[in-house]
Amino acid sequence: MSERARSLYFEAPGEVALRERAVPEPGPEEVRVETAISAISAGTELLVYRDEVPTEMAVDPTLEAFDGDFSFPVSYGYAAVGTVTACGDRVDDAWRGRSVFAFNPHESQFLAAPDSLIPVPDSLSATEAALLPTAETATNLVLDAAPAVGERVAVHGAGVVGLFTIGLLAAFPLSSLVAVDPLPGRRNLAAELGADETLHPDRSDRLGDRRDADEPPGLDLAVEISGRPAALDDAVDAVGYDGRIVVGSWYGQKRADLDLGGEFHRARIDISSSQVSTIAPDRRGRWTTDRRLDAAVDLLERVPVEEIVTHQIPFDEAPRAYDLLDGADAGEGSPLQVLLTYD
């Protein structure tokens, strides 16, 4: 057929390009989706863009759209929203015209099995639906962190996932919730979403001292989602005896230089990872991925997505989006959530 689709590829470190290909007809049990919006997951995708991912690591064996590892060239991305435009012979034609979300790389049109798609609820716009993985990751982080009544909590990193995590934690009856981030704009958004206090990382050394006289020293819980290994060391310093640290960051090839020679050992500090591909074993008796997704949709309906989405860039200009994100540490004008739009 004459119609052409475009797919984004990470070609080499610091280089992305759009490749054209034919748009095939869907197989008997497939549908074709025309993409409207896809969200760039800056934390993960910049690791790919900068060649900071272990190349032997599989892209994501839990998602049907991915195969192989992160060796260049690689097609990546996992937050696409679009409309079903064609159905295979064995697919209910009711799918045609439906707005759907897919864990699919950035591309203008793609094929998928219907059971791998998530129909977009009427309560969400396409822009909000593109942030479903973000809300789901934050939900998973809070499930793993298991905050309790009256606890003192800090979130290190007020990027997109950090902000959603703060918004969710703010609904708990905590004693205090502190957001730590270097950018004033992000700290302001964290306060808007419910953080009681916000700090620059350079001032985080006093986190563990913030308590009432009758409370034990140190934080009860720290969530590290900044992508900065140094923030994990700050979290170790901040939590007190029997404190918990949940790490949502993926550092790729960056090393975390932790000071574990002080109180860490005697204080019985617990450090655990949280990753959205799976639900923690102790939660699987009652939590399914469908239930977690429903909770993520509820979270999306409460978070001011219009303030978090700072840039919408045409798919044709995708290289500019990654250049912009790659310079995000330059200052306050840096982007938060970048979306690619498809006309």
> Got the DSSP string for 269-323?
-EEEE--TTS--GGGTTT--HHHHHHHHHHHHTTS-HHHHEEEEEEGGGHHHHHH
- At 86, is the pLDDT very low, low, confident or very high (cuts 50, 70, 90)? very high
- Write out pLDDT tens, residues 233-247: 999 999 999 999 999
- Write out pLDDT tens, residues 296-313: 999 999 999 999 999 999
Q: Calculate what percentage of the chain has a pLDDT beyond 90.
A: 80
Q: Which residues contact 26 (CB under 8 A, 6 or more apart)?
A: 32, 86, 87, 88, 91, 111
Is residue 248 left, alpha or beta, with left meaning phi > 0 and alpha meaning psi from -120 to 50?
Answer: alpha
- At 7, is the pLDDT very low, low, confident or very high (cuts 50, 70, 90)? very high
Indicate the range of 146-155, 165-174, 262-271, 286-295 predicted with least confidence.
262-271
Report the pLDDT value the prediction gives residue 309, as an integer from 0 to 100: 97
The span from the CA of 298 to the CA of 116, in Å, is 21
Report the pLDDT value the prediction gives residue 90, as an integer from 0 to 100: 98
Domains contained in the chain, CATH given: 4-123+302-341 (3.90.180.10), 134-283 (3.40.50.720)
Contact 135, 298 (CB under 8 A): no
Q: Calculate what percentage of the chain has a pLDDT beyond 70.
A: 92
- For the residues 46-68, what does the mean pLDDT come to? 75
Kindly tell me the sign of the dihedral angle through the C-alpha atoms of 39, 42, 46, 52.
negative
Alpha carbon distances (Å) from 18 to 8, 53, 71, 198, 338: 5, 21, 17, 40, 17
The span from the CA of 136 to the CA of 329, in Å, is 25
Residue of 65, 63, 103 whose CA lies nearest to 82: 103
Q: Calculate the average pLDDT of the chain.
A: 91
Report the pLDDT value the prediction gives residue 329, as an integer from 0 to 100: 55
- Residue 128, SS3 per DSSP: helix
Instruction: Please check the confidence at residue 52 and state whether its pLDDT lies above 80.
Output: yes
Q: Which residues contact 63 (CB under 8 A, 6 or more apart)?
A: 78, 103
Contact 297, 135 (CB under 8 A): yes
Kindly tell me the sign of the dihedral angle through the C-alpha atoms of 119, 120, 126, 127.
negative
- At 263, is the pLDDT very low, low, confident or very high (cuts 50, 70, 90)? confident
- At 254, is the pLDDT very low, low, confident or very high (cuts 50, 70, 90)? confident
The span from the CA of 130 to the CA of 58, in Å, is 23
Q: Which residues contact 286 (CB under 8 A, 6 or more apart)?
A: none
**The two three-digit tokens of residue 37, written as one number:** 């919006």
- Write out pLDDT tens, residues 140-155: 999 999 999 999 999 9
- At 189, is the pLDDT very low, low, confident or very high (cuts 50, 70, 90)? very high
The span from the CA of 6 to the CA of 205, in Å, is 48
- For the residues 66-75, what does the mean pLDDT come to? 82
Contact 70, 48 (CB under 8 A): yes
